[in-house]
Structure 1
Amino acid sequence: MSPNFIGLSLWFFFCGVLTLVHSKTDSKDVTALNVMFTSLNSPKKLKDWESDGGDPCGDGWKGIECSKSSVTEINLSGLGLTGSLGYQLSNLASVTYFDVSNNKLSGDIPYQLPPNVKHLDLSNNGFTGTVPYSVSLMKSLKDLDLSHNQLNGQITDMFSSLSNLDLLDLSFNKLSGSLPQSFESLSSLSTLYLQNNQLNGQINVLGKLKLDELIEGNSWSSGQPPPGMTSSGNIKSTHMSKGGLSGAMIAAIIMGVLVVVATFLAILSRKRSSFSSSLYDEQDNQSGRKSFNYFGSNRYSTELGIDKDKGFKDHDIKALQSSGPIGLKPSLSYRMKSFRNNEPVNNAASPRKVSFEITPYALSELQTATSNFAMSRLLGEGSIGRVYKAKRPDGKVIVVKKISSAFFQDGQDEKFSDIISSLSKIYHPNIVELAGHCSEQKHNMLVYEYFRNGSIHEYLHLSDEFSRPLTWNTRVKIALGTARAVEYLHETCSLFHRSIKSSNILLDMELNPRLTECGLAIFYQDATGNLGGGWCAPECTNGAAYTFKSDVYSFGVVMLELLTGRMPYDSTKPKAEQYLVQWALSQLHDIDALESMVDPALRGLYPPKSISRFADIVALCVQTEPEFRPPMSEVVQSLHRLVRRPSMSNRGVDDFDY
């Protein structure tokens, strides 16, 4: 073999190796883009994108720019994309430019976003919810444009660390309340757009900012204004002088503010007299939550198809083992309101369309969809019955829960109709809704939406921690959402759940929790507690002993799983550690012991103060005596305060309390 041939071969070999080295995209980036592609409904416009694997950097995926093996820019503006952005954007650690503006994206802005992004543009879409708190982690952020969406609720106080932010555009949304105090920390901010919202309150937080341009159009009360306010009290588009204001201008500003205050108070007085007839009964409390009155006035009750005088039928309530009023599901035009932190918003003018209705299925349809209930389609089996994955002719994947015939002995099939009627009235954004049903030939089945992300149990105990991570922020979000679902069952529907455990908490595409098995407590009422599973309260030796506080205990066990990554009962552990509550309870108030209990999968990336406060809530929930456990409303408030409270810790990637 000639030396020239050997040399040429080696040259080709090394060229190939170098090509592989420079084109192979980081696996975390690939996974994040795979999830994003699926969440965007796998559009054909995204040439070369894949839902599983691929090489974005080497194959030149549309809109993707890379540096070596890392994705650095994502620009998908104006492509008519639909769906959402997925739940793994936080894996894109090298992305500094992220633009998905001018599309048709919907749902809440993802809780997790690229952490080191400098330019973030989500404008001109249909995003709902509020500004995600994870924005507070983006210390490199320079431009943030969330304009022309459907964002609502109050802007969270989370801007203290964004000293590099130069442009902030929140205009043309439905944001309300006062400006957050941390706005005054935006020392680099030169451009601020807030027009076309419902903001109010004082504006003194803008007084010290050196803004070059500010476009405004809201109603404000008194307070030291920023430069450029007009005599009407509204801020107009202006390029401001750095040299300050003249005495005449200051006098005009003060007079303008006084006029606005007087006008605002007069309008508020008129509105108070008419507000009692509104469907939404909002009250600010310690946690900032809002109460939601489904019954409202006679005018709205008629719209919702509710006969306020007649109320509910007795069998509706009895079918769900309920001793009080059941939360009524609004009509289709009201059902999918925009939610801030999973709460209804007082804005009846902009409903979101519901994606599915309760559908009666024929037995033959479900037999075909499940391949005649084949074992290959079996997702799980519990004390109520078996659960199957099914596929409809239109391609939609659903879940079929086939309830054991043992519950319908002696010709009691009519009981199932009562259950369906009652289940149809349960509605909450953190609860899996009933989508369909079937009752034929002694087969009684419930149909639900399929959640491809599975349950918390799968994430914590069965999955690859690299491909399916749960950050500390996400765990707190899951706990809060689940707590709200249980609070709704207890206080709005007067229902026990009886089976709160991590396998019954599913996760949607943005990792929002969705509690399942709701309204099925009637099937558990004669059963003994599953103490061997580790999630059932100690008093539940029989069904009659079950109370709302028993649900609180089970929820506390779920929180412990989120904290430790351990299962409620694990026979592979040493005997003293097999039952999670027994092992953890004595250590929850010991800071040193608590640190050693935290799930190793978090790799130390959490604020210690947040962990400690989270553990305090757990300790209250899992107390042995039911009367010492807090009601779920207090648990929700505690978790809500935990989310909102700034942290003094600098440990790990989080510098706030959740």
Structure 2
Amino acid sequence: MAPYLSLPVLLIISVVISIAIGALAKTDQPDVSALNVMYSSLNSPSQLTGWSSSGGDPCGKGWKGIKCSGSSVTEINLSGLGLTGTLGYQLSSLTSVTNFDMSKNNIHGDIPYQLPPNAVHINLARNAFTGGVPYSISQMTDLEYLNVASNQLNGQLTDMFGKLPKLSVLDLSFNRFSGSLPQSFRSLSSLKTLYLQNNQFSSTVNVLSTLPLEDLNLENNQFTGWIPSKLKGIDNLQVGGNSWSSGTAPPGMVKASNTGSGGNSLKGNSIVNGVAIAAAVIAVLVVALILLTFMKKRSSSSAHYLDGRFDEQLSQNRTFTPLVSDDQKELKHSSSISMKAFERSLSTGLKRQPSEPRKSFNDNEFANKVHSKRSTNPITMTSYSLEDLRAATGGFSAGRLLGQGTIGRVFKAKYADGKVLAVKKLETINDSGGSSSEFMELVSGVSKLHHPNISELLGYCSEPGHPLLVYEFQRNGSLHDFLHLSDEYSKPLTWDTRIKIALGTARAVEYLHEVCSPSMTHKNISSANILLDEELNPHLSECGLTVFYEDPSENLGPGYNAPECIKPSSYTMKSDIYCFGVVMLELLTGRKPYDSSKPRMEQSLVRWATPQLHDIDALAQMVDPALRGLYPPKSLSRFADVIALCVQSEPEFRPPMSEVVQALVRCVQHTSINKRLGGDLSASRRSDDSDSYY
């Protein structure tokens, strides 16, 4: 009997052992897929022993440079292996990777937008990366070490450092970064080591003065101004090769102390400097007394500027929030402007009072713009008066009308100093009888949206009956107008520009869907709401205005509505993705989403194009004739594949926007490879900087 009973026991034991061995050997599938893509993108190098372009078991088979914990990949260290190619587009799937070291290779292309999201240590130094630092780093809250030194990175740093409290080492040296340092550097409360040498950074370094730095290298840039006294106490400070101001710093800029390093010490000149500072203070006091006397005389006559409307506003005891500079402390919840502040503003004709002169807006300024931290504090962005905006828009005249949508009209505002803004009149609020508090809640929500591909809200007007939103002005108008209303004198969008527009817009939608908390649907994605700046970078507009879209099917133009959107409650993020797919079809074909002038079977763009997306010959016939055949066939095919996924009739089969972004990055990589190999796209390298659209 015993041998008979032992047989099932042995079978059970063998099954358990088999399962255990399989569990130990099998790597998580998302990790395997990401490494497969990475291997192919690196040109399948022989140095990576054990690696494969499909399938495999990195943890169980000991792939070179890979370390695991159980079935999860936790470390990728491929430093100094002479690797070429790119990093691929699926790194965001590596959610357990904490150490990512690809330094000392010859990897090129842009740094992928999505890196391992929970990485603690990232080293990409000494490669051939181009472009900038991906904005997605702003969400990597566990990051402690970031090194991108000795590459070919360029452009300005965006404000991506506000949520990196653990970052202790940041090395950006030996690149081509330019512009001023981002204000979000102030939030790097754990930063000990900062290397910025051998770049083209400019302006001052005041944003670094409060950081707990122990090692700072600023050599060989274009920094100006004075070195803050707190920085002079850093043990390892290197500042040569810049254009620092000589002489005595303004009062408050440099404290007379004997701490410092090398030639930065103030010792020996303290008496002379003290006398100079004292003389300067006395001179300032004398001038202040003269100005005070003048202002007292002027204040009595200034009262004539007060009209009836403004008196009424004061009598209602409204609270106004002043515009403050970044160096000032944040306003407390109950803060308001005193009457003295109002008296000072009278001499400017009751216009808004900026803390510093504003320049006309462009995309470079956006990249350097200071974004306020998300909080429940009062809104501190610019509050415009109705009088000011009415004057700047010519009384909201038809000649200044830029566009009209379901929720209101947009006007061009021009100022004497050359500044140009876009003013949106929210007529929907007036029609629905919305309250002032509801409008201010809306402004508060929209003001928290900060992304390079989302139209930036610059200010607002909350005067009763006149809810207005003030945005940055984009000189090239909307993508819809660029594609469908251009005349024979307009330069068509090249293929790489179209992919750039699609990728930038996808990243904006990804930000709304997957970065914002809580996540947001847009509900009005269309080519008319994608604005193009001077360099044809896309900016998605009307973000955060979903409260007005009670029935998205009425807001979206014909041809954009997803099949499931029969009733308003059925609109989801997957409906946004469908709309984005329609925009991609517009970029591919140059056609409108719905065109009644076409034959009946071709009027709906989705219905006409979808069956042909996987037919190579038919696809070539669909492409916008304006491209004149100047596109890489492989890139075109991948672009069409992404469209086919986005416009699936069943929403559950549409991919999340993060996957769309990764697929479009792949399209960009194929376009770049084609250019390097001398492909036919090179003939399309024409200037896309068209003349001012408006």
TM-score normalized with structure 2 length: 0.46
Larger Rg: 2
TM-score normalized with structure 1 length: 0.49
